[in-house]
Structure formats: C-alpha cells, structure tokens
Amino acid sequence: MRTIEQILKEKGSELYRVGPDEPVLEAIRIMADKHVGALLVMQGDALAGILSERDYARKVVLMGRSSADTPVAQIMSSPVTTVTRANSVNECLELMTDRRIRHLPVVENGRVLGMLSIGDLVKAVIDDQRHHIEELERFIRT
C-alpha cells in the first residue's frame, strides 16, 4: 500500500491557498483556475481553515450572501481535520467518510506539507489493487 508521503510526491508540492481576509469570490476564482474543490486558508504559514465548494454553496449561495463582499474567514471550515505522513490511506479514507469531508491537509510540526483529496486516495487504492492483481496473475502463470 502506498504511503501518504508517496502520494504527495506523485501529486507535487504545490499548495493552493487563500488568506482569511480575501473575498470569497477570489477563492472561487482560484478553485476554478486550478481545478480544485478546496483551498487551504492560511494566515501566514499557519493553517487557519479550509474552504470548499460545499462551504460556498451552503454558506454563501443558500444564505444569499455576496461572494464579493464576504471574507473567506466567515465561511471557512475551522478547526481543520488534518493528517500526517504517518497516517495510512485507509485511515485517511475512514476519516473522510466519518466526517463527510473530501479534503485532508497533511500537517507536521505546524507546517502544511500538502493536501489530499478523496480522488487522490481512491486512485492510490485502485493502483495498489491493480498492482496486486498483476502480481497474482504472474504467480498463477508460473
């Protein structure tokens, strides 16, 4: 099974972030430009929260707020559920399922190392299963 560290290396180290005082509209633009469903909300180097498309839909659209006038801090999710590189893929998937979230920041010693999406983890599980199937097929043939 692939480790969280391996998944982060495969993804690359680019973090998509927004400040808590930025307007929600700017955050939505970044998500659209980067094709991601969530952004880290960072106060300097510290993780202050996470902003997802779900936060936007529930806390801006449904409440009739203005995306241009609402700061990210008013709708972000905080505190943030995080994991470390020591967590397993299965532990991360379990956390996501139990808490009904789709993104997990990877944090160690107060430093954000990356962000995992449910898609990243499902892809890792599928790749690992494919690898095991290939090994079993080779074993059967020999």
pLDDT at 10 over 80: yes
Q: Are 25 and 45 in contact (CB under 8 A)?
A: no
**Cβ contacts of residue 74 below 8 Å, gap of 6+?**
59
Find the domain containing 69 and state its range: 4-141
Say which range, 81-85, 92-96, 100-104, 130-134, has the weakest mean pLDDT.
Answer: 130-134
Question: What pLDDT is recorded for position 120?
Answer: 94
Confidence of residue 1 (pLDDT cuts 50, 70, 90): confident
Does 121 score more than 80 pLDDT? yes
Q: At what angle do helices 4-11 and 118-141 cross, to 10 degrees?
A: 110
Give me the CATH number covering residue 53.
3.10.580.10
Number of structural domains the chain divides into: 1
Q: What is the per-residue pLDDT across 78-98, written as a single tens digit (0 to 9) for each?
A: 999 999 999 999 999 999 999
- Render pLDDT for 13-69 as a digit per residue (tens, 0 to 9): 789 999 999 999 999 999 999 999 999 999 999 999 999 999 999 999 888 889 899
